[in-house]
Amino acid sequence: MSDNLGDVHLVYMRQALDLARQSPPKPSNFRVGAVLVDVAANSVLATGYTLELPGNTHAEQCCLLKLAEKHGVAEEELCQLPETKLPRQLALYTTMEPCSFRMSGNLPCVERVLCLAAPDTASSRTVAVYAGVTEPDTFVSKNTGRQTLEAAGILFVHVPGLEDEILAVAKAGHDAKEGQADK
């Protein structure tokens, strides 16, 4: 997908935002949605949202775990799947920049994306990340997700137009007033 397909990017970002709304509002996390797309077929391969799966799970993590389960492999083995099972060109739409640090000790979402892309292997994939907003400093200051992805050669694109709505959904539950706004 070229970047002049803004409407397509907004469609997938809205889908990710709808997923984020399904995440329970809590004071200890952002509500985020993620959609993994097969670029050539323009079709959704997997979706996820914060806390969709058991544990302190992030949207990208849930998306990739569900994709791995679909293929009967561990998440870290997704990059080894042949092109017949997992396309070489993928786009990850996420309402918020993937995290570079997890206070819970879980693998950061940036590392999950890097593992999927496996940029230094024969089975490398082209993965582009489209994000609605950068991660606020609420829980971890100075998230380096974008920088880390770009340093590894992964295209990172901000999809403009939904920032206020994404942040309102993401922060719902952070205080009593915001928690009432998105129920």
Q: Please state the domain count of the chain.
A: 1
Cβ-count burial of 26 within 10 angstroms (0-12 exposed, 13-18 middle, 19+ buried)?
Answer: middle
Question: Which residues, 6+ apart, have CB-to-CB distance to 70 below 8 Å?
Answer: 46
CATH number of the domain that 106 lies in? Answer: 3.40.140.10
Tell me, yes or no, whether 30 lies in a domain. Answer: yes
Tell me, yes or no, whether 104 lies in a domain. Answer: yes
Tell me, yes or no, whether 22 lies in a domain. Answer: yes
pTM for the full model? Answer: 0.89
For 135, phi and psi rounded to 5 degrees? -70, 125
Cβ-contact 52, 46 below 8 angstroms: no
pLDDT digit string (tens) for the chain, length 183 residues: 444 456 899 999 999 999 999 999 999 899 999 999 999 999 999 999 999 999 899 999 999 999 999 999 999 999 989 888 999 999 999 999 999 888 777 899 999 999 998 866 666 788 999 999 988 777 767 888 899 999 999 999 999 999 999 999 999 988 754 434 333
Tell me, yes or no, whether 97 lies in a domain. Answer: yes
Tell me, yes or no, whether 39 lies in a domain. Answer: yes
Tell me, yes or no, whether 31 lies in a domain. Answer: yes
Tell me, yes or no, whether 103 lies in a domain. Answer: yes
Domain coverage including residue 22:
6-181
Tell me, yes or no, whether 1 lies in a domain. Answer: no
